[in-house]
């Protein structure tokens, strides 16, 4: 692959990711304003409903099997866990605790966010940050496959089954289902990154996308 092709692929990923990010902000704004059932929200949602899956898929495309697990843990913690921790605390103190009516002198003020973190992977006050924690865990778990194809395929298939069961039976904590889906799409991103530009694969993906509306 030459330099121009590489630049074209990266721009393609970034452009699509930008569209997904804009829609994600639109989605949360509509949710916060009580506009979930309006056409302004439902029409783009029915088209871009897979936006979160794409974020994991895109991250998987850039997975590096030759990196050491320790290196991945440190780099991912710096990029994902640090902002997750900072803005989770700010969001909870500034908005979450007030919304729940907790006082600084109540035990629940400190215990409730810990329980919520384990139950749903986020804390009231800055909910969308769950993605940062999930992506960190996904990257670390997938790195343990050490680039072995059979382990990667087995992990992806196992997580797909866990995600289906978890969502069907609403298994708690929800973090389990979210993490399983994240690993599934992250793994697909890596496993399909050299096939995604094959015309046959592209046609199959388009047919699958259309099939979700039937």
* 157 and 193 together in one domain: yes
Burial class of residue 89, CB neighbours in 10 A (0-12, 13-18, 19+): middle
193-200: average pLDDT? 77
Q: How far apart are CA 57 and CA 90, in angstroms?
A: 29
The answer to the question of residue 94 being in a domain is: yes
Give domain status of residue 128, yes or no: yes
- Residue with the bigger pLDDT between 195 and 24: it is 24
Q: Are 189 and 95 contained in the same domain?
A: yes
Residue 60 domain-assigned (yes or no): no
Q: How many helices (H) and strands (E) does the chain have?
A: 11, 0
The verdict on residue 55 lying in a domain is no
Same domain, residue pair 38 and 69: no
Task: Give the domain range for residue 69.
Answer: 65-211
Lowest mean pLDDT among 3-17, 171-185, 189-203: 3-17
pLDDT at 102: 66
Angle, alpha carbons 22-27-33 (nearest 5°)? 125
56: in domain: no
pLDDT of res. 124: 75
Residues 99, 157 share a domain: yes
How many folded domains does the chain comprise?
2
- Let me know whether 44 and 72 are in one domain: no
Flag whether pLDDT at 174 surpasses 90: no
Query: Same domain for 94 and 40?
Result: no
pLDDT band at 113 (very low <50, low <70, confident <90, very high): confident
- 9 and 105 assigned to the same domain: no
193-214 burial: b if 16+ Cβ within 10 Å, else e: beeeeeeeeeeeeeeeeeeeee
Same domain, 40 and 115: no
Residues 45 and 71 in one domain: no
| 155 and 107 part of one domain | yes
The pLDDT of residue 15 is 86
Q: Measure the CA–CA gap between 214 and 42, rounded to whole angstroms.
A: 17
Q: pLDDT (tens digit, 9 = 90+) per residue, 115-169?
A: 777 777 777 777 788 899 999 999 999 999 988 999 999 999 999 999 999 888 8
């Amino acid at each position: 692959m030459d330099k121009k092709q590489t630049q074209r692929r990266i721009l393609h990923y970034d452009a699509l990711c930008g569209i997904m990010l804009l829609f994600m902000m639109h989605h949360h704004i509509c949710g916060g304003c009580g506009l979930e059932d309006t056409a302004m929200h439902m029409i783009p949602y029915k088209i871009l409903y897979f936006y979160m899956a794409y974020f994991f898929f895109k991250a998987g495309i850039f997975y590096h099997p030759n990196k050491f697990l320790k290196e991945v843990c440190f780099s991912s913690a710096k990029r994902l866990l640090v902002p997750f921790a900072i803005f989770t605390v700010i969001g909870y103190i500034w908005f979450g605790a007030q919304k729940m009516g907790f006082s600084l002198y109540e035990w629940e003020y400190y215990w409730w966010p810990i329980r919520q973190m384990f139950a749903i992977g986020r804390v009231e006050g800055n909910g969308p940050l769950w993605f940062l924690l999930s992506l960190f865990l996904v990257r670390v778990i997938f790195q343990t496959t050490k680039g072995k194809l059979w382990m990667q395929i087995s992990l992806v298939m196992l997580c797909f089954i866990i995600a289906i069961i978890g969502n069907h039976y609403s298994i708690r904590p929800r973090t389990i289902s979210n993490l399983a889906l994240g690993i599934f799409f992250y793994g697909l991103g890596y496993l399909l990154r050299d096939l995604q530009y094959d015309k046959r694969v592209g046609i199959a993906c388009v047919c699958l996308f259309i099939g979700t509306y039937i």
